[in-house]
Amino acid sequence: MSGRLLLDWAALSISLFNTLVLIWLGLTVLLNAERRTAGVWLAGLGLLMGGAFFISHSAILGQRLDPSSPGLNFWWSAAWLPVILSPFAWYIVILWYTGYWDSPSTDLHRRQQPWYMVAMLCTLGMGALLIFTHPIPTFAQIAELDLSDLPSVLGIPVIFLAYPAYILLCILLALDALLRPGPSMRPMGNLARRRARPWLVASTFVLLAVSLLVAAALMWVVMDSGDEYGSVDIYQRLSQTLAWFDLIIAALIGLAVLLLGQAVVVYEIFTGKSLPRRELRRAWHSAIFLAVSISPVAAGGYLLQVKPIYSLLASLMLVTVFFALYTWRSFSGREAALRQVRPFLSSQRLYDQLIQPGDVASDLDVQSPLAALVTGLLGAERGALAPLGSLATLAGPPMFHPPGSAAPLPRLHELAARVQSPGTSLVPIEPADFAGLRWAAPLWGERGLIGLLLLGDKPGGGFYTQEEIDLARSSGERLLDIQASAGLARQLVELQRQRQSESQTLELHTRRSLHDEVLPLLHTALLLMQADPQDAQARLSEAHHRISDLLHELPAPAAPEIGRLGLLPALRRLAESELRGRFDGLEWQISPEIESRTATLPTAAAEALYYAAREALRNSAAHGRGSTPQRSLHVKISAAAGREFSLVIEDDGVGLENSVPGSGSRSGLALHGALLAVAGGALSIESEPDRFTRVTLSMPLPES
């Protein structure tokens, strides 16, 4: 303590602030880590060790001005352990974060390995000095500038020479690792590093300034000890100067802590999360507010020697106000979240749209919830919702916001292959390949990947939070489910209307033919049976032909060869008869074991698969060559059987544009996709222009 009220109040306030923030950060890293690896434990314990140092520091500042005080000397000695270990701990944490231990073949590992050994030996050497030589002066010796009993080199205590060099070595090595890190193994880790690097580099530079100030303070003590040793007012003069050094160093450490906390909270550099979390950022701001509020009050109450009850009441009032504000912010956030999801909970009037004829793609309002998702919830400028797999034939083409930004997405299925892990939240994509969009979030259903939510950047280059992406993915999955359900229902309703209309037309035609044509012939034949038998016979023959024509006009029954031959042999017969000569090559990759398992499929399921496969083969033959009839066209048919049976029909034709999946040759497949869905199966289409078109049909196999 310097004896100057404002100086002591500022120093103690900053010390208490650093204590609270470091302990909060340390516990937050440990409690919120995705996996508590050795690096996470090291980062969390390093922050807690910094908090422990400032506990000692605050206790020293709170002691009375008596160099012989046992309490003062205890806290002085206790503070040196975290002082010695903190620089090396910071260096180790930065090495871990930049990927030093991920692979020994990286440039970072080769460059840092010898220096890592040097830093470790220096740390062990400093520990050996502390244990065996007692190089640290007591507080009483510092107060009297009596350094004669300490191990020295050229009159300078060894610890005063070694510690500045040691801390400079650790900070400079950490800075090198930050500026030239290794490759990240985390999803989006390289991007998070690029965004967090300015904060970490700035924090390291501040710690470098701290190390230089510590060296300057130690050198000042050494130089002053020879001139002032034995002076009467030495303690007062020393305390004034060291108090200023202490204030500046503590303030710089506080700044470094704030910079580090920004990197930890905003970019989750130590917790292992791929995306930052909005709630964690809000808690960080609240922790800073609480520390800034309570530290000056506690320091002022102590230095002014206010009665403890008053300090306690002031602290309780601050904590109560803080808790009330935190509760208010939580409820405000909850209400804002409810406002954001309200468009997804409103009715889409599916029933009204289903009972009226029309195109579901034009009737169902998906643009309003999509706009609320992209601009309202996520704050993005642009976005797209692209169905994949079995939902693509039912949900329609990709939907864009704004609607005028629609563009082809030819590499959509390549992107789908990159996000097959359910743990992937968000992946960066190349804007040139995806209509200027930069991020992709996979959407999942019971059958696997059902779509992709594509997003542009936020205005100002902001980062999406984990809560935003989680809510966006759930909303996107719900929108796709609504689209697919409406598409399935619309297909079935339209099919029912078509069948009903055809049935009524056929019934009226049959009645009219029987009443107006066949019955008069029979009646005339009966009248002429005895008078003119030959004419009666001719009329009976004509009636027979009319009835035969009516029978031919009736809908054809299900292909009998499916029940007699089985699904795959019936497809082979189709390829050898109707489709003979339509392809330049037809390759079957189906083993006898898989073919035998298809015999367990119910007849209705086998028929649905047969007609869908027939439609896919006909489409390939009709549209696979595009506008070039001389183009070579090969088809490969393969199958797999596990918990479900999958039939894959792939050609090497011109492909289909991903931007218009519901038009042209795919409209028939959309109907068969609906029929397969009713039977419990699924139909999905993958295509790349001028490379391939792949139709996958799947159906669950009965349990044996």
Q: Do 481 and 509 have their domain in common?
A: no
Q: Which residue has the higher pLDDT, 611 or 39?
A: 611
Output the domain CATH number for residue 237. 1.20.1070
Q: What is the pLDDT of residue 383?
A: 92
Whether 36 maps to a domain, the answer reads: yes
Residue 235 has pLDDT above 70, yes or no: no
Q: What is the pLDDT of residue 638?
A: 93
- Of 61, 56, 48, the C-alpha closest to 4 is 61
Q: What is the pLDDT of residue 514?
A: 77
For residue 60, how far is the Cα from the chain centroid?
46
Q: Do 438 and 521 have their domain in common?
A: no
Residue type, 177: A
**What tens digit of pLDDT does each residue of 507-539 get?**
777 777 777 777 887 878 777 777 778 887 887
Q: What is the pLDDT of residue 649?
A: 94
| The token pair that represents 626 in the structure block | 């595009």
Q: Do 540 and 572 have their domain in common?
A: no
Q: Do 534 and 659 have their domain in common?
A: no
Whether 355 maps to a domain, the answer reads: no
User: Which 3 state secondary structure label does DSSP give 586?
Assistant: strand
The confidence band for 362, taking pLDDT boundaries of 50, 70 and 90, is: very low
Q: Which of 236, 251, 274 is the last residue of a domain?
A: 274
Distances (CA, A) of 631 to 582, 621, 628, 650, 665: 12, 12, 6, 16, 18
Q: Which of 464, 493, 522 is the last residue of a domain?
A: 493
**What tens digit of pLDDT does each residue of 647-681 get?**
999 999 888 764 334 444 456 788 888 888 888 88
CB contact at 8 A, 586 and 578? no
**What tens digit of pLDDT does each residue of 64-95 get?**
655 556 655 666 666 677 777 788 888 888 88
Q: What is the pLDDT of residue 232?
A: 47
Structural domain for 536, as ranges = 494-553
Q: Which residue has the higher pLDDT, 13 or 196?
A: 13
Range with lowest mean pLDDT among 296-300, 339-343, 607-611: 339-343
How far is the C-alpha of 433 from the C-alpha of 210, rounded, in Å? 48
Q: Which of 274, 298, 328 is the last residue of a domain?
A: 274
- Of 116, 124, 117, 125, the C-alpha closest to 158 is 125
Whether 558 maps to a domain, the answer reads: no
The listed range with the strongest mean pLDDT (58-62, 542-546, 615-619) is 615-619
The listed range with the strongest mean pLDDT (136-150, 197-211, 538-552) is 197-211
Q: What's 476-502 look like in SS3?
A: HHHHHHHHHHHHHHHHHHHHHHHHHHH
Q: What is the pLDDT of residue 23?
A: 92
How far is the C-alpha of 616 from the C-alpha of 610, rounded, in Å? 10
Phi-psi region of 396 (alpha: psi -120 to 50; beta: other; left: phi over 0): left
Whether 358 maps to a domain, the answer reads: no
Q: Do 524 and 546 have their domain in common?
A: yes
Whether 673 maps to a domain, the answer reads: yes
Q: Do 498 and 517 have their domain in common?
A: yes
Residue 403 has pLDDT above 50, yes or no: yes
The listed range with the strongest mean pLDDT (187-201, 258-272, 685-699) is 685-699
CB contact at 8 A, 7 and 244? yes
Q: What is the pLDDT of residue 251?
A: 92
Q: What is the pLDDT of residue 379?
A: 80
pLDDT > 70: what percent of the chain?
80
How far is the C-alpha of 213 from the C-alpha of 250, rounded, in Å? 11
CB contact at 8 A, 315 and 299? no
Q: Do 392 and 477 have their domain in common?
A: yes
Phi-psi region of 180 (alpha: psi -120 to 50; beta: other; left: phi over 0): beta
Length of the chain in terms of residues written: 704
Q: Is the dihedral of CA 364, 365, 366, 367 positive or negative?
A: positive
Q: What is the pLDDT of residue 347?
A: 62
User: Which 3 state secondary structure label does DSSP give 400?
Assistant: strand
Whether 120 maps to a domain, the answer reads: yes
Whether 179 maps to a domain, the answer reads: yes
For residue 447, how far is the Cα from the chain centroid?
20
CB contact at 8 A, 262 and 201? no
Q: What is the mean pLDDT of the chain?
A: 79
Q: Do 450 and 519 have their domain in common?
A: no
Q: Do 107 and 119 have their domain in common?
A: yes
Output the domain CATH number for residue 674. 3.30.565.10
CB contact at 8 A, 531 and 538? no
* Cβ density class 602-617: b for 16+ within 10 Å, e for less: eeebbbbbbbbbbbbb
* Cβ density class 28-67: b for 16+ within 10 Å, e for less: bbbebbeeeeebbebbbbbbbbbbbbbbbbbbbbbbeeeb
Q: Do 479 and 500 have their domain in common?
A: no
Q: Do 379 and 472 have their domain in common?
A: yes
Q: Do 435 and 523 have their domain in common?
A: no
- Of 406, 400, 454, 458, the C-alpha closest to 428 is 454
The listed range with the strongest mean pLDDT (72-81, 118-127, 318-327, 667-676) is 118-127
Residue 250 has pLDDT above 70, yes or no: yes
How do beta strands 585-589 and 634-641 pair? parallel
**What tens digit of pLDDT does each residue of 446-480 get?**
778 889 999 988 876 667 777 778 888 888 888 88
CB count within 10 Å of CB 624 equals 23
Opening angle at CA 611, ends 610 and 613, nearest 5 = 65
Which helix (H) or strand (E) element contains residue 407? none
* Cβ density class 390-429: b for 16+ within 10 Å, e for less: bbbbbbbbbbbbeeeeeeebbbbbebbeebeeeebbbbeb
Q: What is the pLDDT of residue 695?
A: 92
Output the domain CATH number for residue 476. 3.30.450.40
Q: Which residue has the higher pLDDT, 67 or 627?
A: 627
How far is the C-alpha of 16 from the C-alpha of 347, rounded, in Å? 54
DSSP secondary structure, 167-225, as one string: HHHHHHHHHHHHHS-----STTHHHHHHHHHHHHHHHHHHHHHHHHHHHHHHHHHHHHH
Whether 351 maps to a domain, the answer reads: no
How far is the C-alpha of 306 from the C-alpha of 321, rounded, in Å? 21
How far is the C-alpha of 364 from the C-alpha of 358, rounded, in Å? 10
For residue 14, how far is the Cα from the chain centroid?
38
How far is the C-alpha of 2 from the C-alpha of 17, rounded, in Å? 20
Q: What is the pLDDT of residue 525?
A: 77
Rg (CA), the chain: 39
- Of 62, 66, 115, the C-alpha closest to 92 is 115
Q: Which residue has the higher pLDDT, 199 or 151?
A: 199
Domain count, the chain: 5
- Of 386, 333, 539, 378, the C-alpha closest to 468 is 378
How do beta strands 152-153 and 156-157 pair? antiparallel
pLDDT > 90: what percent of the chain?
10
The listed range with the strongest mean pLDDT (88-102, 338-352, 511-525, 540-554) is 88-102
Residue 636 has pLDDT above 90, yes or no: yes
Range with lowest mean pLDDT among 114-118, 192-196, 269-273, 399-403: 269-273
